[in-house]
Amino acid sequence: MDRTRTKILLGKIFDAAVAAAHPASCLPPALPGAPAEGRIIVLAAGKAAGAMSEVTEGHYFGHGFPPERLEGIAVTRHGYGRPTRRIEMMEAAHPVPDAAGLDATLRVLALAQSAMESDLVLVLLSGGASANWIAPAAGISLDDKRALTRTLLASGADIREINTVRKHLSRIKGGRLAALAARANMLTLAISDVPGDDPSVIGSGPTVPDPSTLADAEAILRLRRVEVPPAIVRALHEPANETPKSGSAVFARSEYRTVARPADALAAAARAAQQEGLTAIILGDRVEGEAREVARDHARQAKALAGQGKRTLLISGGELTVTLQGKGRGGPNQEYALALALALEGAAGIAALAGDTDGTDGGVGRVDDPAGAFIDNTTLARARALGLDPARFLADNDSSGFFQRLGDLLAPGPTCTNVNDLRAILVDS
């Protein structure tokens, strides 16, 4: 198995998955006709917000829509902005929110409230919106929300649990944006980054009914043993912080469509694999669980295929979690890759890539944070030749440090989309 050729092959498959979910591919067919009167108000958030806004402007201006009747605000992760003419591009932190996100969100709320009956409010939503649109409920500070976000991320809570808590401590999440712009027609176009593509989870569901409750949020904090300050305790006991539910009049003029899903990216990866003469097996787009445990299960499946004499690619998506116990750097995809290498024990003919389609996996919020990592049958041997103990790096949750030393990090930079993880295991015996 040639390491360079294998890396190139797996990289091409990753790129095919990302391209299928890029706004340039998936957004134009879903954009609605322009209103006869009034404005198009674009409110965009998440890692794809910049590209979605750029594509939207190009579409409407290319069809002769007057530029002065289109306005909006896009809030995206630092480094993910794109050039736009009328939609103001603002960058903020992810996954832990910052003051830039708070300032931008307050402006989004004011623009939403200005929407009139003749306007179309076009909400462009993608993964990362929960951090980019940050407007704490009354009595809660930005520092409170930042600390809570860090603790939840470290607790092993999944995205549904994290967003359930977020929705009940916010002035924009959990249907509240729809309530602010209820006078206008609203259409949400979303790129899904969550297993199951639940609209109430994507970006914490700012424009859809919320099935979760204040009591659910409290139960999650207890389950994950997350201690919170008195301000958050009070907020979770405040009836006014309950989110709008199904049947509420605030959703009467609101519509929702998902334009790209994790399953679409996996299907594109499978097609790319087949073009390379591989048999593609999709294990599912909703794989969840602790990264190292999923890795051990996938290693067993890859070993079972290795003796069959076929060129096969095992593909999976979803979102894995990491319960932090060490002090290292990394993310779920890098931790999965390290655990996979350990579980495979240098088995011949097996290589893999694990990466987040948004271009970053964990990290510290920098544009050049890695998206994931590569492994093959030489990973453990090369590490030990450098004096590295792979098991010790895994115990310290330091997968970034491990793969950086080996030169095996996947670092594509901002992809301007986000349909969650792509894991591809090549079995070529």
- CATH number assigned to the domain comprising residue 53: 3.40.50.10180
Q: CA–CA separation, 333 vs 180, rounded Å?
A: 37
Full residue range of the structural domain in which residue 29 is found: 24-260
Average pLDDT over the chain, rounded to whole?
Answer: 96
Q: CA–CA separation, 94 vs 109, rounded Å?
A: 20
What is the mean predicted confidence (pLDDT) over 172-187?
98
pLDDT at 350 over 90: yes
Share of the chain above pLDDT 70, in %: 100
Assess whether 291 and 389 both reside in one domain: yes
310 falls in which pLDDT band (50, 70, 90)?
Answer: confident
16 falls in which pLDDT band (50, 70, 90)?
Answer: very high
What is the mean predicted confidence (pLDDT) over 68-87?
97
What is the pLDDT, as a whole number, of residue 5?
A: 96
CATH number of the domain to which 363 belongs:
3.40.1480.10
How many domains, the chain? 2
What is the mean predicted confidence (pLDDT) over 107-132?
97
Assess whether 341 and 198 both reside in one domain: no
293 falls in which pLDDT band (50, 70, 90)?
Answer: very high
362 falls in which pLDDT band (50, 70, 90)?
Answer: confident
What is the mean predicted confidence (pLDDT) over 108-123?
98
What is the mean predicted confidence (pLDDT) over 298-325?
93
Residue with tokens 């590569």: 374
**293 CB-near residues (< 8 Å, 6+ apart):** none
What is the pLDDT, as a whole number, of residue 364?
A: 76
How is residue 249 annotated by DSSP? G
pTM of the full structure: 0.92
Residue with tokens 């910049």: 50
78 falls in which pLDDT band (50, 70, 90)?
Answer: very high
Assess whether 268 and 253 both reside in one domain: no
Of 210, 230, 260, the domain-final residue: 260
What is the pLDDT, as a whole number, of residue 363?
A: 76
Residues paired with 256 in a beta bridge:
188
Assess whether 291 and 156 both reside in one domain: no
Q: Comparing C-alpha atoms, which of 425, 416, 388, 195 is closest to residue 287?
A: 195
DSSP E strands, 138-193 = 185-191
In degrees and rounded to multiples of 5, residue 21 shows phi and psi of -105, 5
What is the pLDDT, as a whole number, of residue 150?
A: 92
Q: How many residues does the chain have?
A: 429
DSSP E strands, 87-169 = 87-92, 120-126
Assess whether 182 and 256 both reside in one domain: yes
Residue with tokens 């405040």: 238
Assess whether 332 and 418 both reside in one domain: yes
Q: CA–CA separation, 169 vs 217, rounded Å?
A: 9
Assess whether 220 and 293 both reside in one domain: no
